[in-house]
Amino acid sequence: MKNIQRVEEIQKAVQLVRDSIEGKEVTASELRNALVNTCILADSLMKENAKLKATAKKYSIKEKKRTEMYLPFFAK
């Protein structure tokens, strides 16, 4: 499942909760399922975000080392 699909599913669940607060008829099982799915999807999004941050940091460190390595040549 792509991140955009995950976010859309979370938005649907949030809308379901809003509907129940506004007094529209929503069953307890629908709410429970929506909230459980939201937790699962949010967890997967956070894990994906952590992976992306780690990858970005890794490449940032590599680029910094590369820059420091070549800096003396350009300083002359």
| Displacement of CA 38 from its chain's centroid (Å) | 12
- In one letter, which amino acid is 25? E
Contact 3/45 with Cβ under 8 angstroms?
yes
* 31 Cβ neighbours under 8 A, 6+ residues apart: 16, 17, 20
- Number of domains forming the structure of the chain: 1
What is the structure's pLDDT at 22? 93
Q: Which residue range forms the structural domain that includes residue 15?
A: 3-75
* Structure confidence by residue, pLDDT tens digits, 17-68: 999 999 999 899 998 998 898 899 889 889 999 998 988 888 888 777 777 7
Q: Does the global pTM surpass 0.85?
A: no
